[in-house]
């Protein structure tokens, strides 16, 4: 049983993933997979070929790369065409069940078919902006990232379940436990 966690930046996906891990459920994060890929010379070569100014002395300048891809849809699609097949491979290699995968770009990645369930973590835009500000993300950058992501109504269209994160952190954690418990029975 493969379960995708989707939702916009700042919606609470990472907290739900944390709850899954606390419950003993196998869990992966696309961001964590990508962080591992950024240590692979072969992957870095692909990034360097596509984004020459974003690799310095064999290291990806993540801030520069993010700045480029969030301001240009074509560049974002190019990066996704490099990253998504690698992420899909890592997910496919994991045979544990249930497996929860935090994958914000499930639609863009073409990986929706790999999942039996797709859980949307939904939060009001104002709350998401506040969370991002708490992480030190500038408001203009937060808005740019949100604009680059699929709108919530499109995510609701593919979600099999929704976890509402308009309350407190403990409310989110309780809702996550309730939903995830279903997959442990």
Q: Is 73 annotated as a binding residue?
A: no
Q: Which residues contact 55 (CB under 8 A, 6 or more apart)?
A: 44, 47, 48, 61
Q: Is 13 annotated as a binding residue?
A: yes
Inter-residue contact 116 to 81 (CB < 8 Å): no
Q: Is 14 annotated as a binding residue?
A: yes
Per DSSP, the residues of 81-93 read HHHHHHHHHHHHH
Q: Which residue has the tokens 């418990």?
A: 181
Q: Is 110 annotated as a binding residue?
A: no
Query: At 6, is the secondary structure helix, strand, or coil?
Result: strand
Q: Give the sign of the dihedral formed by CA 133, CA 67, CA 112, CA 158.
A: positive
Q: Which residue has the tokens 């995968």?
A: 101
Q: Is 15 annotated as a binding residue?
A: yes
| Segment 47-56 long-range contacts (CB within 8 Å, at least 24 positions apart) | 47/79, 47/82, 50/78, 50/79, 50/82, 51/75, 51/78, 51/79
Structure tokens at 61: 């300048």
Q: Is 62 annotated as a binding residue?
A: no
Q: Which residues are annotated as a binding site?
A: 10-15
Q: Which residues are annotated as a binding site for ATP?
A: 10-15
């Amino acid at each position: 049983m493969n379960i995708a966690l989707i939702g916009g930046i700042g919606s609470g996906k990472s907290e739900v993933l944390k709850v899954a891990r606390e419950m003993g459920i196998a869990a992966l994060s696309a961001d964590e997979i990508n962080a591992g890929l950024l240590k692979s010379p072969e992957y870095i070569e692909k990034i360097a070929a596509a984004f020459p100014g974003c690799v310095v002395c064999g290291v990806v300048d993540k801030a520069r790369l993010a700045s480029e891809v969030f301001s240009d849809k074509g560049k974002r699609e190019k990066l996704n065409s490099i990253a998504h097949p690698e992420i899909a491979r890592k997910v496919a290699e994991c045979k544990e069940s249930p497996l929860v995968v935090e994958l914000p770009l499930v639609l863009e990645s073409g990986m929706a078919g790999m999942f039996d369930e797709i859980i949307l973590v939904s939060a009001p835009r104002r709350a998401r902006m506040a969370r991002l500000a708490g992480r030190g993300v500038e408001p203009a950058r937060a808005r740019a990232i949100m604009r680059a992501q699929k709108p919530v109504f499109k995510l609701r269209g593919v979600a099999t379940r929704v976890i509402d994160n308009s309350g407190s952190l403990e409310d989110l954690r309780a809702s996550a436990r309730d939903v995830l418990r279903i997959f442990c029975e």
